[in-house]
Amino acid sequence: MVRPSTRNPKLDDVAARAGVSTATVSRFLNNPDIVAAGTAVRIRAAIEEMQYVPNLLAGGLASSRSKMVAVLIPHLVDSLFDRTIETMVEELNAGGTMVMLALTGTAAGRTEAMIRAAMGRQVDAIVSTAPLSAETTALIQHFPGLFVQIWDLPAEPPGIAVGFSHVEIGHDLARFIYERGYRRPALVSAELGRARLRRDGFVKGWEAHSDTPVKEIAVDSPSRFGHARRVFAELRRQPERPDVVVCGSDSLAQGIIVEANAAGLKVPDQLAVVGFGNASVASDMRPTITTVEIDGAQIAREVNAAVRSHVSGVAPKQRSVNVGFRIIARESA
Of residues 294-333, which lie at the interface with its own copies (CB under 8 A)? none
119 lies in the site for DNA, by CB under 7 A: no
11 lies in the site for DNA, by CB under 7 A: yes
List the strands of the sheet with 272-274, edge to edge: 215-219, 185-190, 244-246, 272-274
Choose the contact partner of 178 out of DNA, its own copies, none; CB within 5 to 8 A by kind: none
Of residues 60-89, which lie at the interface with DNA (CB under 7 A)? 61-65
Cα Rg, the chain, nearest whole Å: 25
Distance between CA 253 and CA 272 in Å, rounded? 10
Q: What are phi and psi of 157, to 5 degrees?
A: -65, 145
Cβ nearer to its own copies, comparing 50 with 212: 50
36 lies in the site for its own copies, by CB under 8 A: no
Distance between CA 54 and CA 20 in Å, rounded? 16
- Number of residues counted as binding its own copies (CB under 8 A): 73
Q: Are strands 326-328 and 291-293 parallel, antiparallel or unpaired?
A: antiparallel
Distance between CA 40 and CA 200 in Å, rounded? 61
Of residues 14-33, which lie at the interface with DNA (CB under 7 A)? 19-24, 26-27, 29-30
Choose the contact partner of 36 out of its own copies, DNA, none; CB within 5 to 8 A by kind: DNA
Answer for which of 16, 50, 59, 215 binds DNA (CB under 7 A) is 59
Closest C-alpha to 256, from 279, 278, 233, 239: 233
Handedness of CA 120, 125, 129, 135 (dihedral sign): positive
Of residues 38-57, which lie at the interface with DNA (CB under 7 A)? 38-39, 52, 54-55
Q: How many CB atoms lie within 10 A of CB 179?
A: 9
Of residues 208-247, which lie at the interface with DNA (CB under 7 A)? none
- Please, what is the Cα angle at 185 between 184 and 187, to 5 degrees? 155
8 Å CB contact between 156 and 184: no
Distance between CA 168 and CA 324 in Å, rounded? 9
Of residues 127-166, which lie at the interface with its own copies (CB under 8 A)? 139-142, 144, 146-147, 158-160
Selected range binding DNA among 13-21, 131-139, 201-209, 270-278, rule: CB under 7 A: 13-21
Cβ nearer to its own copies, comparing 80 with 292: 80
10 lies in the site for its own copies, by CB under 8 A: no
Choose the contact partner of 29 out of DNA, its own copies, none; CB within 5 to 8 A by kind: DNA
288 lies in the site for DNA, by CB under 7 A: no
Selected range binding its own copies among 20-28, 47-55, 161-169, 299-307, rule: CB under 8 A: 47-55
Binding site for DNA (CB under 7 A): 7, 10-12, 19-24, 26-27, 29-30, 34-36, 38-39, 52, 54-55, 58-59, 61-65
